[in-house]
Amino acid sequence: MSSRTACVLAFDLGASSGRAMIGELTDREGGALPRLELKEIHRFPNDPVQVGKHLHWDILRLLHEVKQGILKARQQGYDVQSLAIDSWAVDFGLIGRDGQLLGNPYHYRDHHTDGVMEQVTGRLGKERIFSSTGIQFLPFNTIYQLAALKQAGSEALRQADKLLMIPDLLRYFLTGEMKSEYTNASTTQLLQATSGKWDEGLLEALGIPAGLLLPPTASGTQVGRLTPEVCAELGVPPIPVIAVGEHDTASAVVAVPASDADFAYLSCGTWSLLGTELPHPVLTDQALTWNFTNEGGVYGTFRLLKNIMGLWIVQECRRAWEKAGQAVTFPELVKAAEQAEPFRSFIDPDDDRFLNPQDMPEQVREYCARTGQPVPDSMGEVIRCVLESLALKYRAVLEKTEQLAGKRFAGLHMVGGGIHNELLCRMTASALGRPVWAGPAEGSALGNVVVQYIALGLITDLREARAIIRESFPLNTYEPSAAAEWNAAYERFKTLLS
């Protein structure tokens, strides 16, 4: 038996597409946990736009699609009690003193940051930056984007009054309220890990005014309502807007259906993010040496993790083959990889050559040739090489995560769209020599939804939220196999890592 149903609207924006998802939480009688359901009501592409030498996000198109999701929720009869947005990290828009957006946000793969990280760290020192922020060094972090704009004499930066991360910016368009959400703010490499405040000394050293950045707002906070203009345009009431874990990885980790306090996770999609959840950051010299990150999580948690290039490499291989007139689906690529010879060649997925090349398959081949390995030729050989390399990289990162956290994990929780690739799930279990628990696929959207329910008082806390997710969404368990072969492959793979 069930009774009242409450629904919320989650917008989950990825690097290639976005979705509007309705979450429905249904009370059940007899003291049973509520049941949570998730339904996609709107999906849309998120294609970056090349303008001259620069790559930008089409932010006003994203706003339009968010509005379409709100409209479709109304048209389909949902009584939406709140809405929230999560997205990728590091990118931002600049707002002028008149409240207007000063140009389209740069895409994190744009080349205007080339070489800037090395310049900044050479001047300030990695130890200075990491000891304060605890954030992994990546060339597209917000800190280096701002430094690049400063060096280029950006007029937009000179005129800017406030900086808003992508979900903050879209919320501003919807509510008229400028707020900075904590989990996304933590990814900028400008926020102090221990205090949760902006590092004003770091900003001063970069020549960035501290007033550009708003004080971070805690995840799970109501930060406004839809403006009268948006309500009139869409024919909806002033729906409350919640700041959830707006970095999509923060939301994905919320949705990890772990029953134990100690767990390891892999959020697997365009990027792979592997780590664990802790009550405090790990700011040791070893964490710096291994280039781990301590991103802010919801409700006082930290995500000790490492970014891994992920299925971006597979996506870009497919795009290159399609551009050459060889149309192929992802399932066809996986099938071809299954039929290819195992353990023939490996790549380090995090080599810089794979960040944004013109021809990804050619880069894979060149890497193998340069490292004295057999060069993969067919599509199946290339994809097999990439997937095996990802699985082996997951093992390397998991082992380092355990050393930094001082813990041993029985297996790996795998969430996100990458779990649809069953071959990768099987390979990961075998590479780790431990079980992989795969699910749910819609991790970021689910995390977005349950934090809204916590903010509304309909779910008690994070522990209850994860219990509801476990009850509502089935998991697939993958057991390891071929231990000797995978262990031998791992020894070869480690020689490629710098």
Q: How many helices (H) and strands (E) does the chain have?
A: 19, 19
Cα dihedral: 72, 78, 83, 87 (round 10): -50
Active-site residue among 86, 168, 199, 248?
248
Separation between Cα atoms, residue 336 and residue 318, nearest integer Å: 13
Separation between Cα atoms, residue 272 and residue 86, nearest integer Å: 17
Separation between Cα atoms, residue 146 and residue 94, nearest integer Å: 11
Residue 111 backbone dihedrals phi, psi, to 5 degrees: -85, 5
Question: What is the dihedral sign for C-alpha 239, 245, 251, 253?
Answer: negative
Separation between Cα atoms, residue 105 and residue 59, nearest integer Å: 7
Separation between Cα atoms, residue 275 and residue 284, nearest integer Å: 16
Residue 170 backbone dihedrals phi, psi, to 5 degrees: -65, -40
**38, burial (CB in 10 Å: exposed 0-12, middle 13-18, buried 19+):** buried
Separation between Cα atoms, residue 25 and residue 22, nearest integer Å: 10
Cα 104 off chain centre by: 21
Pairing of strands 264-268, 412-415: parallel
Buried b (16+ CB within 10 A) or exposed e, 461-474: ebeebbebbbebbe
199 is catalytic: no
Q: Quote the tokens at residue 72.
A: 């479709």
Among residues 448, 55, 3, which one has the least CA distance to residue 220? Answer: 448
Q: Quote the tokens at residue 233.
A: 């345009």
- Hey, what amino acid is at 310? G
* Distance from the first to the final alpha carbon of the chain: 57
Separation between Cα atoms, residue 267 and residue 260, nearest integer Å: 18
Separation between Cα atoms, residue 161 and residue 178, nearest integer Å: 11
Q: Quote the tokens at residue 260.
A: 């134990």
What residues are annotated to the active site?
248
